[in-house]
Structure 1
Amino acid sequence: MQFKGWQNATEIQRWVRSAFVPRGYDHHLRTDRERDGGYIEEHAPNFLVLFAAEGPGEVRVDQGDWIVRDASGQVSSYSSEGFEAAFIPRRVS
């Protein structure tokens, strides 16, 4: 499932353990470029945080990234490019 922002964050939260971080809100997974002198930029993008199934661990999922659950229940996230490389067959001429 592709993370499209608030529009489908609640749907993803029903499917995997995650939390939505709105645009401009502080979170320890914010990048340095989203901060200005220690303050969060107003335009810092929203993102989703995936929590590890067992134990500590968090992964940031940016808008446009993909979340995949395999047959064994393992959850992974991919950038659009990574998703394409992993799941969309390339045409061979």
Structure 2
Amino acid sequence: MSTKTLATAVDASTARLAGEAHPVFLDLGKKSAKAVKKLRKGKGRLLDDVRETLQDLQASGRVAANAQPVIVIVRAKPKKKKRSLGGFF
């Protein structure tokens, strides 16, 4: 869980409004394009990481159990360029 960070941007004026649901931002960092594609489809290890993090936050009481907006931030690593050997082989 060290690659996941949680950033909540709630100031004092919005914290007073208990009736409103505050968004939760989950930053997963840079991941492979394949993993990001699976996350978009609702599958894969990244989705499991998101679910696990939300369960931990609900258990600790930092996030309400009701429906609350969750924004997942993840960046796809660019594909590595294949090096040409210059035609020597």
TM class, shorter-chain normalised? under 0.3
TM-score for the superposition, normalised by structure 1:
0.23
Higher relative contact order (CA 8 A, sep 6+): 2
TM-score for the superposition, normalised by structure 2:
0.24
Answer 1 or 2: which has greater helix percent.
Answer: 2
Answer 1 or 2: which has greater strand percent.
Answer: 1
Please say which structure displays the higher CA radius of gyration.
2
